[in-house]
């Protein structure tokens, strides 16, 4: 399958006919707002998606189409050249699987913190035996796997974040490994704000989401320039979506 699907949208600019090429941006089929996911109108949205939409709108020859896939399939689709771009991605993800491929990454786009939400009474607790952690299906608890802690890790995977929150509130897992902004947002949606809190004493990661591609170095260069030339865009959108900058 060819890496991109093309259609032409007729635009008039400066008396010339300009054609916008459609590029498929593979995204995760996951409710992971405010970072990314489907809003109440079933539109794929979120902080990173809006950054990419604004970039696309600023270029008459680029039209991004966001197509959701299961997480594992999304990764394969990029490497098999079945999509043009993947978001989110990171130079630190799936490194062994990418060794044989020349994956191109954008500059840092959107900050994130992956960590563990626990019951307030367990905040700051140490674990010496085992640690039961719930994670979204398809995710890897990188911070925990890279930790030097001595406890035995027991991973429980669920498709829905609401299911993970329920397990944590019932004490059936010691915590859930998740993007902290996403977890707190979901708790608020469920009317359970404050029932779980971020334990920053446990392993966690502060990093950035990136856009990746196999074939489109030129568009990545344009995106990097767009980000540099709009220094206040990210902070404005972070405020809109309630995401705190990484310090």
Q: What is the pLDDT of residue 11?
A: 45
Q: What is the pLDDT of residue 119?
A: 97
Burial 122-133 (b: 16+ CB within 10 A, else e): bbeeebeeebbb
Nearest CA to 87 out of 101, 102, 57, 108 is that of 108
47-57 vs 217-229: helix crossing angle, rounded to 10 = 100
CB 15 within 8 A of CB 33: no
CA gap 137, 174 in Å, rounded: 17
Cα–Cα distances (Å) from 161 to 74, 118, 176, in that order, read 19, 14, 9
Full-model pTM: 0.86
Q: Helix, strand or coil for residue 16?
A: strand
Predicted confidence band at 18 (pLDDT cuts at 50, 70, 90)?
low
Highest mean pLDDT of the ranges 1-5, 13-17, 18-22, 61-65: 61-65
Average pLDDT, the chain: 89
User: Any idea which of 43-47, 56-60, 94-98, 120-124 has the lowest mean pLDDT?
Assistant: 94-98
pLDDT tens digits, 57-100: 999 999 999 999 998 899 999 999 999 999 999 998 888 888 88
């Amino acid at each position: 399958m060819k890496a991109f699907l093309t259609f032409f949208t007729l635009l008039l600019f400066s008396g010339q006919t300009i054609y916008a090429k459609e590029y498929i941006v593979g995204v995760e089929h996951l409710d992971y707002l405010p970072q990314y996911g489907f809003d109440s109108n079933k539109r794929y949205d979120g902080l990173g998606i809006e950054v990419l939409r604004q970039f696309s709108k600023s270029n008459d020859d680029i039209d991004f189409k966001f197509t959701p896939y299961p997480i594992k399939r999304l990764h394969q689709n990029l490497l098999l050249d079945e999509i043009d771009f993947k978001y989110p991605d990171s130079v630190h993800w799936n490194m062994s699987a990418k060794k044989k491929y020349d994956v191109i990454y954008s500059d840092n786009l959107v900050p994130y913190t992956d960590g563990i939400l626990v019951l307030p009474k367990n905040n700051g607790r140490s674990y010496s035996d085992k640690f039961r952690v719930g994670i979204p299906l398809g995710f890897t608890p990188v911070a925990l796997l890279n930790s030097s802690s001595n406890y035995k890790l027991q991973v429980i995977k669920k498709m829905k974040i609401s299911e993970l929150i329920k397990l944590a509130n019932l004490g059936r897992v010691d915590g859930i490994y998740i993007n902290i902004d996403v977890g707190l947002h979901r708790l608020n949606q469920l009317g359970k704000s404050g029932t779980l809190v971020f334990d920053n004493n446990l392993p966690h990661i502060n990093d950035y989401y990136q856009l990746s591609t196999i074939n489109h170095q030129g568009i990545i260069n344009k995106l990097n320039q767009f980000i540099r030339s709009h220094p206040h865009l990210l902070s404005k959108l972070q405020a809109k979506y309630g995401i705190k900058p990484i310090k």
